[in-house]
Amino acid sequence: MKVAVLGAGAIGAYVGAALHRAGADVHLIARGPHLAAMRQHGVRVLSPRGDFTAHPHATDDPGEVGPADYVFLGLKANAYAACGPLIAPLLHERTAVVAAQNGIPWWYFHRHGGPYDGHRLESVDPDGAVSRVLAPERAVGCVVYAATELQGPGVVRHLEGTRFSLGEPDRSISARCLDLSEAMRTGGLKCPVETDLRGDIWVKLLGNISFNPISALARATMRQMCLHGGTRRVIETMMRETLSVAEALGCTVGVSVERRLAGAERVGDHRTSTLQDLERGKPLELDVLLAAVVELAEITGVEVPTLRTVHAISDLLALRSAA
């Protein structure tokens, strides 16, 4: 099994190291000091489950890697449309693209069935730019329940969680999902293959759609947002509106708002990825988290006034931070 990790940051390098440990032919594509460190010392994983070092091939040139069986995308979703020149050398006729993104993926309505089958969301696939680069037929969905961060170049700090749920857009249990799942499990990760990954997408989105933009607007940690009464009520309302949209699309989310909030509070003084991106001057990945659900509310006729308000304010923040 040949796996290319395009965007081997904290999550990508962690997955690549685990797959390399399982015996897969892994190629990490990165740049800068992080790439230099991985070339020289390998990927060092520091984890409560045990530290280890893996030495997969690392490069900044996808052409040096060539076609792979799987491309694991560690890029942020807002970089997908522009990744064509990077991903093209990695593809052969049957290459699967595993997108470990937050929020609503560009393939969401591919083989969805029902009245919205094949619908394209402008907020996540503007003018079809993402679909032209990443054909939905190649997509294997992936919902990440692991928290990692780069402690330094070539050093991944694994904080918690090892689950990477996989699923086909058409809800089948495919050989390509089963094969990748087996390799991930051999490398020490949890990797169930789900018949309907969309439920997992909405479970994770409940937290991302609320905590991520609010954390950036308030410069607050998970614990601080949960303990502030007014902010907690806003987040509860955002979650309930999100559940209404999911239900309008025929997706039952198997977690309550109360349980989701309790889990977030246990995380403690963690800064969301959106807040970290804001502090580092990076683009904010809010379209797939918030704009997409507002767009889904429009096509399903669901009222989401709080989501619309937070989207308007956070969108201005994203535009100003990118200026």
Residue 105: φ, ψ to 5°: -80, 160
Residues 6+ apart with CB under 8 A from 202: 242, 243, 246, 251, 253
CA 90 to chain centre: 20
CA torsion 41-60-276-71 (nearest 10°) is -100
- Tell me which residue has tokens 């949890």: 190
Do residues 56 and 26 lie in contact, with contact meaning Cβ atoms separated by under 8 Å? yes
Catalytic annotation, residues: 204
Query: 314: Cβ–Cβ under 8 A, 6 or more apart, which residues?
Result: 213, 216, 217, 284, 286, 290
